Amino acid sequence: MDYQVLENDICLKIKNFNLEDTLDCGQAFRWEKNDKEVFRGVVENKYLEIFQSGDNIIFKNTTEKDFLNFWKDYFDLDTDYEKIKKIITKDSIIKKACTYAGGIKILRQYPWEMICSFIISQNNNIPRIKGIITRLCEAFGTEIKPNIYSFPTAEKIASLKLEDLDFLRAGFRAKYILDAAQKVASNQVDIKAIYNMDIEKAREMLKTIKGIGPKVAECILLFGFYRIEAFPIDVWIKRSLEYFYKDGFPEFSKPYGGIAQQYIFHYIRTCKDAIPEEYRKK
């Protein structure tokens, strides 16, 4: 890994990485870009400002220690994506998607935040998901810097009543958030245990929470537990499976299905001519 320690910042030199696509492709909901291409976000109890300039990524006001012990892991910098791409791009559709969106990395995020976030995501759109999560953090998270809040703990949410969540305007999802918090806080859904479960058991465990079905469970496993074989099928992926993969998704890609899935998801959502218009609204 090639990086330089500057006065207050870390400068990482990296190829084939796209910060904006990575932070804005629907896997994370707590990064916002300001008017100067700088992303601001909160992960656990750390606040970061970060931006990209060509092959340089600048981590603002970051110590080498935080970079090596925390952000390197969060941004999945030790995974050899080129090796994975070599395998999965033997499929021509993934190859196209990878050309378009191959700068995305799968962020190593945290289980409870992903459980809560992807419960909120169901039958919802990304701007609204972000809004609900922002309100949730501002109300129940910890203020780690002036006006900057961490994601609230499951214990904190579990201590609330359903009416306390009304202001989120999360609709029918509010009761699911509460159920998730209660089950996680009480260890009825044991996050530590899920890390060591085989994936099918982990799916079943997550689905004991109300509001977690097959799709949300896959997202939690992929983004919260780094199970890169997890393959969430949302409306967009369903469309692309119908259009591109009538005979099934290629077997050799399945161990890295989650990475391929992200490339395809970003590709067909944002590239106008990826699939025909009539498939976009079926």
Least Å from the CB of residue 222 to DNA: 8
Q: Which stretch binds DNA (CB under 7 A): 44-52, 140-148, 185-193, 208-216?
A: 208-216
Reported in sequence order, the residue ranges of 133-185 that DSSP labels E, i.e. its strands, are 143-145, 148-149
**Which residues, numbered 142-181, are part of the site for DNA (CB under 7 A)?**
166, 169-172
- Indicate the residue among 6 and 171 with the shorter CB distance to DNA: 171
Q: Which of 79, 234, 243, 275 binds DNA (CB under 7 A)?
A: 234
Among 60, 128, 156, 254, interactor with DNA by CB under 7 A: 128
Query: Cα separation of 40 and 34, whole Å?
Result: 8
Residue selected from 212, 221, 260, 274 as contacting DNA according to rule CB under 7 A: 212
Instruction: Pick between residue 117 and residue 150 the one whose CB is nearest to DNA.
Output: 117
Q: Give the Cα separation of 87 and 81 in Å (integer).
A: 10
Residue type, 32: E
Instruction: State the nearest-atom distance from the C-beta of 2 to DNA, in Å.
Output: 28
Query: From the CB of 233, what's the least distance to DNA, in Å?
Result: 7
Q: In the structure encoding, which two tokens stand for residue 193, read together?
A: 């245990």
Residue 270 makes contact with DNA by CB under 7 A: no
Paired tokens of 88: 């999965």
d(CA 210, CA 215): 13
Residue 244: other Cβ atoms inside 10 A: 20
**Residue carrying the six token digits 């806080």:** 185
Distance set, CA 176 to CA 110, 131, 162, 217 (Å): 18, 17, 10, 13
Q: Does 213 bind DNA (CB under 7 A)?
A: yes
Is residue 27 near DNA by the rule CB under 7 A? yes
What is the residue whose two structure tokens read 């983004």?
223
Distance of alpha carbon 34 from alpha carbon 161, whole angstroms: 35
Residue 9 CB, nearest approach to DNA (Å): 29
> What residues make contact with DNA under the rule CB under 7 A?
25-27, 121-129, 131, 166, 169-172, 207, 210-217, 219, 232, 234-237, 261-262, 265, 269, 281
